[in-house]
Amino acid sequence: MAGTTPGIPGTPRVLRAMNDRAALDLLLEHGPLTRTKIGKLTGLSKPTASQLLARLEAAGLVVATGTSEGRPGPNAQLYAVHARAAHVAGLDVTADRIVAAVADVTGETVGTYELPTRGRRADGVVRQVTQALDGAVKEAGITRAEVHRVVIGTPGAFDPGTGRLRYASHLPGWHSPTLLDELAACLPMPVEYENDVNLVAVAEQRLGAAQDHEDFVLLWNEEGLGAALVINGRLHRGFTGGAGEVGFLPVPGTPLVRQVVKANAGGFQELAGAQAVPRLATSLGIETPHQPYAEVAAGLLTRAVAAWERDPALTELLRQYAQRLATGLASLTAVLDPGLIVLSGQLVSCGGELLRSLVQSELAELAASRPRLVLGRIDHHPVLRGALERALADTRDEVFDTSR
């Protein structure tokens, strides 16, 4: 039976709460179920299952949603989790925009809003966050007070000792030492902050390519290179929150980058980040603009895949880029020895399965162990999906706890 319930183990109240949580988790996983089916899946007798459903219905956690059809005999009543029992919100913050979304307790997204932020005043971050959140809340048809929890994903990480954002100098307005206090004063619900790549890993672990994996590395490759490290099912964040900032990793094949925080770059970023792709293309005689880096790099990799083994220069571009990615991954593999590496982000998506297979082949030559490489499966707003999943997990623990 799922869930963790406070109290003395074995008491009737705690056992009832454990059964309640098990039934709610089953309803989330399978959708509407009959009383008989819930009893079979939980091992409860029909009378006990009936009492459980009555209790959850009275608590506003389940609702009757119709009847089963297509079977002999009378149709049975179906029950489902009450979607409006709780709502959560997630925000995905970049230098150019904030995307906000609201999900009900079943995980369905019921409201979204995108707020462009490029060119706005850096001291208006609190206003931007509340405006984006309110836009999603309005589309969801609820009020801000009905949001149980908010998770905000940003580049870099907030130092747990100082409360200041680190490793993201390109995010204007987010480095004030009083920012978190100001946001707490404006938002009535609990607010959590998490690195954006870590949230992609949460989404992949809950819904995507890393399901059922307790240990894995996720490499994110868009405008910047970053990684999420999941060990024993938990994100490893490091002393200052900077674990996974692999763009700063010194690697062979590029000059040492000094003062990396001031430069907001490092060896692996210079070797295999978005800005490296147009430079590599130029060195191979491919005419191309160099900016905007991410857009140009995505276009080049898309062309390289389409022209594989037909255009020598583009073919070599993809080969060399795969080798560069594998170089950094070999360093991570030597330290962490992961069984699984998930490749995600726009540049990986453009390279697709061909790029993945090339990186896998190169890594086999460079690393002592042989982790399996897979492509990420969460393509649509993965940072936002991870933020919602993180918020849902904590909110369900609270709302579904019937022992109190």
pLDDT digits (tens, 9 = 90+) for 355-369: 999 999 999 999 999
Residue 4 confidence (pLDDT) above 60: no
Band (5; pLDDT cuts 50, 70, 90)? very low
Contact 22, 12 (CB under 8 A): no
Contact 171, 98 (CB under 8 A): no
User: For position 262, what pLDDT does the model report?
Assistant: 73
* Mean pLDDT computed over 280-297: 95
- Give me the percent of the chain exceeding a pLDDT of 90: 80
Which tokens in the block code for residue 81? Answer: 């989790």
Mean pLDDT of 59-66: 93
Core vs surface per residue 58-81: b (16+ CB within 10 A) or e: eeebbbeeeebeeeeeeeeebbbb
Residue 276 binned pLDDT confidence (cut-offs 50, 70, 90): very high
- 319 DSSP β-pair partners: none
pLDDT for the residue numbered 173: 87
What length is written for the chain? Answer: 404
Q: What is the pLDDT of residue 34?
A: 94
Strand order in the sheet with 87-93: 109-116, 97-104, 87-93, 147-154, 191-195
| C-alpha to C-alpha distances, 396 to 37, 76, 141, 299, 388, nearest whole angstrom | 22, 27, 21, 42, 12
| Nearest Cα to Cα of residue 313 among 147, 321, 222, 90 | 321
Q: Tens of pLDDT along 34-57? A: 999 999 999 999 999 999 999 999
